[in-house]
């Protein structure tokens, strides 16, 4: 189905099932331990052996030799495959670090061997017997040291939200020099790890030259293509299956070493092999969100009109790697006649930087939205009002290009009202509650909406059951549920008549889970397939499909009403289609918006920051399932608290690795850190996004919230920290006297 004109009235608008806060249909399996994750799929292949990965202990250099004699002689060991046993393998799509093969070490904990044994314990014990002789080389590990010489870059974030290097509108420098009120500050954000609960894990089995991977992956079609490319085998010989994913956050957009090594190990052992990355390997072996150094300049007239805005960011990556596109949102979020955005990229020998939930906007908003707070203070204008004053309904870089639907102002006004923003004292450091200095902060939330082809197959059987098959994944987001809701709405059946099968590369290729594009595109693909099925059903029943309505398990036309199941009595009806997009998203800018409001307390003695309450008001088109969407947003808000207050991969700049490579050292918020969270969705639709009229929320909840925390910390203390995370050591020396 081609989608190239805004959606009119369609069956989804009935909202009998879609739009309802339905419980997650996979929830009971997750909570009772009956949803098997990749490593737990004991029944998919017999005689599974266990692989254990050995990571390099140097950051850069050459592997001269790997002594596997002791490991091979250890009890239970079936095979050992080292990186010297195979030539350098191909790279997966959108990846830059070699996952295995050859003698070059590009980053710490790069896989150098996999040991296969009868039991996990035997494999692990033997892995410690592998002796790797590696010659280390000096490397570049310090972003700040490389930043000044980092060259400009043109790049794409890998998720379609491209940044094109330097972009200019008008004369930024001239306007900035003329501006009566200016701000010029630099902000730094840390390297971050996805820290999903389920580690990367794969079971691999070969049947002749055909490979099956039961794995944990967000993007099945990408995974299938990438593993074929990496291993040099035909794509049609690969099957990837990933029905349940215990969190991804971008860390499972790509095939990782677990999949490659499971495949190689299964070949070597001659039987199925399962491999999970151990937690201490994950931060250095896989990808991470790269650190940034961002400079923001804003010039305005005294009435708060922005006349000049510039955002430049430098980040680092391995050679051929991409930049963190932290300036993306600044192209679109606020008006201003004179503009500059630019990216620079340093070569670093740290592990590969790549997408993590809201790549670009997540760190970019941490800078821009603090700069906006600082500017509002300089202007003596309320920060909510300052943002409203600079709202734009068109793409400021291309004023002829409007936003498809933009109600940022509504988010900010409603949020301010609900949060009690008018009770905020503009003067920082004024409010005490016992031991706590209390502050309020806010920020805009912004993340683009991305459209992407997505296919599905729908079956109707004689029992009246509608089965949806697509390779779409559910990474904890609610895909199963919203797809079932979509099919139920389209076919006029109740939710319990719908079966959803996801994550299998034998199914039609969906948009997958990433970039908050999954919900809208995958359900739109199901919509398209259901339209086909409705036609096929009508045809079987001898009804003109244009006259047919599907409701209450029946197909109705005129005075006729037939049970839907009757249509399949002569045999199952199968329909398949994809949603494919025209240029609507080019002609109009599709984005999602939020107002984030946060109250923090800062301990007057110790400078510990604790969030007291949070509110997000979101405008993201139709909300397909408010319960699942709320979970997405509060998860994003929690991640934003992490980025603002504690999450940081600490770089050992001499040895070149992330030192705190486990969940004790890499701290993410725990329950005690997250108090009251409230989410409000504005009631709106965006007919340009798809027939679903929905947009994404999975990343919107994260974008901006960290800046709201930082702005609240400033309001509480009067101390402005521009170096994330805002740990207490940075605040302490400048805290007001602890009287």
Partner 1 sequence: MKSFTYERPGTPAEAAAAVARNPDAKFIAGGTNLLDLMKLQVETPAHLVDVNGLGLDTIEATPEGGLRIGALVRNTDLAADARVRKDYGVLARALLAGATGQLRNQATTAGNLLQRTRCPYFYDTAQACNKRRPGSGCSALDGVSRQLAVIGASEACIATHPSDMAVAMRVLDATIETVDAAGAERNIPIAEFHRLPGDAPERDTTLKRDELITAVTLPRPLGGAQVYRKVRDRASYAFALVSVAAVVQPDGTGRVAFGGLAHKPWRVEEAEGDLPRGARAAASGMLAGAAPTHDNAFKLVLAERTLGAALKQARA
Active site residues: 699
651 near partner 1 (CB under 8 A): yes
Q: Minimum distance from CB of 608 to partner 1 (Å)? A: 6
610 near partner 1 (CB under 8 A): yes
- Cβ closest to partner 1, residue 605 vs residue 723: 605
- Cα separation, 169 vs 127, in Å, equals 57
Among residues 5, 128, 135, 417, which is the contact residue for partner 1, using CB under 8 A? Answer: 128
67 near partner 1 (CB under 8 A): no
- Cα separation, 449 vs 434, in Å, equals 44
Strands (E) in 435-496, as ranges, are 436-448, 454-460, 466-469
Site string for partner 1, 416-445 (x = CB under 8 A): -------------------x----------
What contacts 307, CB < 8 A, 6 or more positions away? 175, 178, 179, 299, 300, 301, 336, 337, 338
Is residue 269 helix, strand or coil? Answer: helix
Among residues 118, 667, 678, 684, which is the contact residue for partner 1, using CB under 8 A? Answer: 667
- Cβ closest to partner 1, residue 58 vs residue 617: 58
645 near partner 1 (CB under 8 A): yes
Distances (CA, A) of 453 to 1, 2, 79, 532: 10, 10, 42, 16
DSSP-assigned beta bridge partners for residue 398: 395
138 near partner 1 (CB under 8 A): no
> In the sheet where 466-469 sits, what is the strand order?
2-3, 573-581, 454-460, 466-469, 498-501
**Helical axes 626-645 vs 705-717, angle rounded to 10°:** 50
Cα dihedral value 14, 18, 22, 27, nearest 10: 150
- Cβ closest to partner 1, residue 146 vs residue 667: 667
Strands (E) in 431-559, as ranges, are 431-433, 436-448, 454-460, 466-469, 498-501, 549-551, 554-557
Strands (E) in 564-722, as ranges, are 573-581, 591-603, 609-619, 651-652, 657-658, 676-681
Is residue 688 helix, strand or coil? Answer: coil
Q: Secondary structure of 157-197 in the HEC alphabet?
A: CCCCCCECCCEEECCHHHHHHHCCEEEEEEEEECCECCCCC
Among residues 197, 546, 570, 664, which is the contact residue for partner 1, using CB under 8 A? Answer: 664
733 near partner 1 (CB under 8 A): yes
Q: Which among 377-385, 401-409, 549-557, 643-651 is the span making contact with partner 1, rule CB under 8 A?
A: 643-651
Measured from the Cβ of residue 425, the count of other Cβ atoms closer than 10 Å reads 12
- Cβ closest to partner 1, residue 111 vs residue 408: 111
- Cβ closest to partner 1, residue 134 vs residue 259: 134
Among residues 627, 650, 685, 718, which is the contact residue for partner 1, using CB under 8 A? Answer: 650
Sites for partner 1 among residues 710-729 (CB under 8 A)? 727-729
C-alpha Rg value of the chain to the nearest Å? 26
| Residue with the two structure tokens 């300052």 | 386
Among residues 148, 319, 732, 736, which is the contact residue for partner 1, using CB under 8 A? Answer: 732
608 near partner 1 (CB under 8 A): yes
Q: Minimum distance from CB of 188 to partner 1 (Å)? A: 16
Structure tokens at 652: 């050992």
Among residues 4, 303, 605, 723, which is the contact residue for partner 1, using CB under 8 A? Answer: 605
- Cβ closest to partner 1, residue 431 vs residue 644: 644
Q: Minimum distance from CB of 652 to partner 1 (Å)? A: 5
Site string for partner 1, 264-293 (x = CB under 8 A): ----------------x-------------
Among residues 637, 646, 694, 709, which is the contact residue for partner 1, using CB under 8 A? Answer: 646
- Cβ closest to partner 1, residue 429 vs residue 445: 429
Helices and strands of the chain, counted as H and E runs: 17, 32
Q: Which among 16-24, 51-59, 206-214, 494-502 is the span making contact with partner 1, rule CB under 8 A?
A: 51-59
- Cβ closest to partner 1, residue 334 vs residue 658: 658
Among residues 156, 673, 678, 684, which is the contact residue for partner 1, using CB under 8 A? Answer: 673
- Cα separation, 368 vs 138, in Å, equals 35
Q: Minimum distance from CB of 664 to partner 1 (Å)? A: 7
- Cβ closest to partner 1, residue 18 vs residue 644: 644
Q: Which positions lie near partner 1, rule CB under 8 A? A: 55, 57-58, 75, 121, 124-125, 128, 280, 435, 603, 605-608, 610, 645-646, 650-652, 654-655, 659-662, 664-665, 667, 669-673, 727-729, 732-733, 738
């Amino acid at each position: 189905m081609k989608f190239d004109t805004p959606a009119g009235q369609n069956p989804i608008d009935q909202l009998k099932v879609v739009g309802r806060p339905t419980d997650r249909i996979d929830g009971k399996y997750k909570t009772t331990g009956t949803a098997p994750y990749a490593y737990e799929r004991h029944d998919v292949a017999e005689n599974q052996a266990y692989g254990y990965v050995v990571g390099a202990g140097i950051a850069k250099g050459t592997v001269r030799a790997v002594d596997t004699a002791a490991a091979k002689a250890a009890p239970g060991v079936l095979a050992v495959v080292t990186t010297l046993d195979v030539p350098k393998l191909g790279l997966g799509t959108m990846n830059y670090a070699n996952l295995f093969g050859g003698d070059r070490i590009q980053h710490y904990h790069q896989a150098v061997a996999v040991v296969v044994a009868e039991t996990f314990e035997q494999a692990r014990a033997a892995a410690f017997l592998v002796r790797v002789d590696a010659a280390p080389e000096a490397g570049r590990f310090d972003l700040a040291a490389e930043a000044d010489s980092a060259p400009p870059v043109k790049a794409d974030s890998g998720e379609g939200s491209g940044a094109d290097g330097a972009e200019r509108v008008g004369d930024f420098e001239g306007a900035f020099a003329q501006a009566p009120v200016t701000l010029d500050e630099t902000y730094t954000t840390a390297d971050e790890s996805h820290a999903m609960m389920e580690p990367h894990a794969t079971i691999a089995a070969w049947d002749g030259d055909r490979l099956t991977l039961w794995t944990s992956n967000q993007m099945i079609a990408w995974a299938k293509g990438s593993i074929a490319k990496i291993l040099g085998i035909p794509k049609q010989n690969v099957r990837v299956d990933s029905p349940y994913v215990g969190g991804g956050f971008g860390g499972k957009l790509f095939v990782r070493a677990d999949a490659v090594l499971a495949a190689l190990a299964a070949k070597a052992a001659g039987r199925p092999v399962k491999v999970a990355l151990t937690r201490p390997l994950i931060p250095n072996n896989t990808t991470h969100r790269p650190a940034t150094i961002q400079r923001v300049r804003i010039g305005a007239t005294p009435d708060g009109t922005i006349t000049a805005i510039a955002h430049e960011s430098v980040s680092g990556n391995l050679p051929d790697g991409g930049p963190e596109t932290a300036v993306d949102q600044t192209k679109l979020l606020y008006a201003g006649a004179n503009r500059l955005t630019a990216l620079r990229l340093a070569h670093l020998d740290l592990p590969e930087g790549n997408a993590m939930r809201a790549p670009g906007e997540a760190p970019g908003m941490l800078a821009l939205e603090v700069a906006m707070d600082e500017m509002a203070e300089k202007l003596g204008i309320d920060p909510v009002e300052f943002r409203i004053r600079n709202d734009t309904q068109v793409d400021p870089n291309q004023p002829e290009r409007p936003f498809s639907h933009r109600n940022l102002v509504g988010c900010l006004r409603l949020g301010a009202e609900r949060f009690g923003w008018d009770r905020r004292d503009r003067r920082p450091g004024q409010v005490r509650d016992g031991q706590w200095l209390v502050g309020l902060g806010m920020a805009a939330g912004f993340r683009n909406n991305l459209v992407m082809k997505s296919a599905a197959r729908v079956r109707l059987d004689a029992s009246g059951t509608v089965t949806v098959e697509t390779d779409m994944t559910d990474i904890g987001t609610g895909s199963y549920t919203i797809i079932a809701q979509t099919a139920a709405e389209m076919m006029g059946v109740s939710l319990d008549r719908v079966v959803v099968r996801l994550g299998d590369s034998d199914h039609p290729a969906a948009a997958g889970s990433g970039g908050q594009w999954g919900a809208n595109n995958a359900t739109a693909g199901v919509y398209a397939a259901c339209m086909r099925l409705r036609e096929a059903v009508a045809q079987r029943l001898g009804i003109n499909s244009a006259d047919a309505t599907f409701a209450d398990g029946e197909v109705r036309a005129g005075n006729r009403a037939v049970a839907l199941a009757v249509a399949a009595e002569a045999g199952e009806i199968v329909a398949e289609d994809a949603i494919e997009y025209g240029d609507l998203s080019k002609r109009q800018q599709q984005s999602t918006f939020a107002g984030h409001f946060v109250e923090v307390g800062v301990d007057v003695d110790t400078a510990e920051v604790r969030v007291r309450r949070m509110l997000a008001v979101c405008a993201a088109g139709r909300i397909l399932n408010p319960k699942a969407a709320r979970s997405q947003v509060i998860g994003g808000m929690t991640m934003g608290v992490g980025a603002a207050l504690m999450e940081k991969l600490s770089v050992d700049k001499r040895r070149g690795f992330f030192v705190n490579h486990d969940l004790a050292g890499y701290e993410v918020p725990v329950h005690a850190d997250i108090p009251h969270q409230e989410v409000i969705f504005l009631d709106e639709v965006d007919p340009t996004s798809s027939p679903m009229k929905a947009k994404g929320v999975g990343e919107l909840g994260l974008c901006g919230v960290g800046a709201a925390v930082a702005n609240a910390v400033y309001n509480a203390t009067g101390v402005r920290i521009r170096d994330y995370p805002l740990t207490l050591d940075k605040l302490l020396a400048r805290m007001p006297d602890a009287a």
